[in-house]
Structure 1
Amino acid sequence: MADAEVTVAAGNLRSPSATAVGFPHRWTDEGVTVEADFTGAHLLHLAVAGCVLNDLYREAAGLGIGLDGVRVLARGGFDPVSWQSTGITYQVEVRSAASPGEVAELLARVDAVAEIPKAVRSSASVTRVP
């Protein structure tokens, strides 16, 4: 399967696209925009991207770093026979008055603590229950 790509954004990096969907957001007054197809693959990647975006705002607040905008793009593919993920990668764009070193520290911190990426990395089981 080709890469399933999603983008989430907040602040001054929100998408102006007419196809982007807006959602309220705990950390920003304007909310977030989501650009994704509605498939299981895209939703899995959306969970990763959304978690990273949220955690950037949460951790930045704790560090006293102001964020003007954040955009997270997550993508990955799946084996066409087993549907096992071939991996998920994400890219982050941050607009902030913080120094490049502070932003790098923030990104490293979020990569270490973001809950959904941690869960996916540990290959959590998924079981249907009655």
Structure 2
Amino acid sequence: MADLSVFGVTATAGSLRGPGVTLAHAWTPEGIAADPVTNGAQVLHLAVAVCVLNDVYREARALGIEVRGVRVEADGGFDEAWRSTGVTYRVEVDGPSAEAAGRLLARVDEVAEVPRALRAGVPVARA
């Protein structure tokens, strides 16, 4: 996996679980490890990473694909006005064949809610 920028994060679970803050997770008994989470930009990127990780487990179950572990890296930048210049993510899955992993990750990219919301544009307003 690539080096992360100052805004990059990882979310890991199962056999690929790494260090970090533990978050409870319905699909894995030991939870997710999130690292690092020290600023708002990382929290935004972590939302993408956790959503994708969760959906890998959910969609694998629906497709009958065994997944032993997942690692998602999410990163992105911001312009001088602190507008996001985009978020990219990478996924490593332990368990399925390369063909099954490809099918699974294509499905996850279609259905993952947080990436879909960001792609569509998200208005944010103070209440």
Fold match (TM-score > 0.5): yes
Q: TM-score, normalised by structure 1?
A: 0.91
The structure with more radius of gyration: 1
TM-superposed CA distance for 1:58, in Å, is 0.3
> Pairwise mapping of residues 55-94 of structure 1 onto structure 2 (< 5 A)?
55-79=55-79, 81-94=80-93
TM-superposed CA distance for 1:3, in Å, is 4.5
Where in structure 2 are there 5+ consecutive unaligned residues? none
TM-superposed CA distance for 1:57, in Å, is 0.3
Structure 1: distance between partners of 2:46 and 2:90: 13
Whether 1:115 aligns to 2:92 is: no
Structure 2: distance between partners of 1:24 and 1:51: 13
Q: TM-score, normalised by structure 2?
A: 0.93
For the aligned residue pairs, the C-alpha RMSD in angstroms reads: 1.1
Name whichever structure is richer in strand by fraction: 1
Of 2, 6, 9, which residue of structure 2 is paired with 1:6?
Answer: 9
Q: Which amino acid aligns with 1:64?
A: G
Structure 1: distance between partners of 2:122 and 2:6: 22
> Pairwise mapping of residues 24-35 of structure 1 onto structure 2 (< 5 A)?
24-35=24-35
Matched length? 123
- Secondary structure of residue in 2 paired with 1:66: coil
TM-superposed CA distance for 1:23, in Å, is 1.6
Structure 1: distance between partners of 2:10 and 2:48: 10
Where in structure 1 are there 5+ consecutive unaligned residues? none
Number of the residue aligned with 1:95: 94
Moved over 4 A (4+): none
